[in-house]
Amino acid sequence: MTKPIPILLDGDPGHDDAMAWMLAQSSPLLEIRGVTSVCGNQTIEKTTYNAQRVMTLLGIDAPLAKGRTGPLIAEHMAAPSVHGESGLDGPVLPEPAVFPVDLPACALMAKVLEESPEPVTLVPTGPLTNVASLLLTRPDLKGKIAGISMMGGGVTHGNWTPAAEFNILVDPEAADLVFRSGVPITMAGLDVTEKALVFPEDFETIRALDNPVASVVADWLEFFYGFHRKLGYAGAPVHDAVAVAALIAPELFHMEEMYVAVETQGTYCRGATIGDRYHLSDHAPNARVILDLDREGFVGLLTKAAASYS
């Protein structure tokens, strides 16, 4: 059997983060070595509490560390209109049986990297604050990072401003540092994640699996769709799960190598991820950008994952 890929989960759960973690925990192809929370969808206190509850629900047995209280430089912004005041509104979740260790997120990341005999893949599905903090404080560990499979950005459009996707806009300076780091990046941006739609009939297929995790996942999808339906979406776009699915089933995705830069200035374009799709600059590609997917295959992967918790 193929040896599992060691990963570090970093996120701000968040309905789609939670479903990404559900997919990661279910897969024999991945081994979760640690989990870190980041302020994004909500404050760091709320996202950490949500991480604790999601880890408890899913049975993730790995150390958890709390991230910074804010972005590297900018003031924090939250997304209660999307994820609710708790950051994970909807179904009732178990109270935590998992608690943060007495280390900041970047220190736990460094510890996991140091102790791992092989390089570890980082899977950030929120703002890139913790990943940037790791690279700033421990540049000597860059070689222990196998790659970064991230959800964020979009080379054609934004969702929080016309130009910027939320995760990048929360901390553009962190994203800029990460994209310039030289670490291999797989970028699941809005170009593909808005096609990662789970339709209402898929919710019911997952609900019919009739296990506690599948029931919660169906309710998460229902809640998440409630926001997106008002915007004209045909289903719930499970953005963050694409970053995990790309590790498990890369054959489901169309990816292109390109240079991606992050705009940190500008009245209209702060937080934009600019993809040199036609190789017009003299920069070598620094990311594999996912641009399309097999939607039915992606939904099948999520459904199989939810079924595994029976």
Q: Is 228 a catalytic residue?
A: no
The yes-or-no verdict on residue 67 having pLDDT over 90 is yes
* Non-local CB neighbours of 20 within 8 Å, separated by 6+ positions: 9, 11, 123, 125, 151, 238, 240, 241, 243, 244
* Non-local CB neighbours of 15 within 8 Å, separated by 6+ positions: 83, 88, 90, 220, 221, 223, 224
How do the domains of the chain map onto residue ranges?
A: 5-307
Q: Which of 76, 83, 157, 239 is catalytic?
A: 239
76 within 8 A of 42, measured Cβ to Cβ: no
pLDDT in tens, 146-195: 999 999 999 999 999 999 999 999 999 999 999 999 999 999 999 999 99
CA atoms within 13 A on the CB side of 68: 20
Q: What angle do CA 213, 34, 136 make, to 5 degrees?
A: 135
pLDDT band at 310 (very low <50, low <70, confident <90, very high): confident
SS3 letters across 3-52: CCEEEEEEECCCHHHHHHHHHHHHCCCEEEEEEEECCCCCCHHHHHHHHH
pLDDT in tens, 43-57: 999 999 999 999 999
Q: How far apart are CA 168 and CA 47, in angstroms?
A: 17
The model's pTM is: 0.97
Average pLDDT, the chain: 96
Q: What is the pLDDT of residue 81?
A: 85
Q: What is the pLDDT of residue 79?
A: 86
301 within 8 A of 198, measured Cβ to Cβ: no
Q: Can you tell me which residue has the tokens 């890139």?
A: 128
| CATH class of the structural domain 5-307 | alpha beta
Bond from prior residue into 14 cis (ω within 30 degrees of 0): yes
Q: How far apart are CA 239 and CA 252, in angstroms?
A: 15
What distances in angstroms separate CA 91 from CA 15, 16, 86, 208, 288, one per listed residue? 11, 14, 12, 16, 35
The yes-or-no verdict on residue 1 having pLDDT over 80 is no
**In the chain, beta strands by DSSP E:** 5-11, 30-37, 64-65, 120-124, 145-151, 185-188, 197-198, 236-237, 253-262, 273-276, 287-293
φ, ψ dihedrals at 166, nearest 5°: -55, -50
Q: What is the pLDDT of residue 115?
A: 97
Q: Which residue has the higher pLDDT, 109 or 266?
A: 109
Q: What is the pLDDT of residue 100?
A: 98
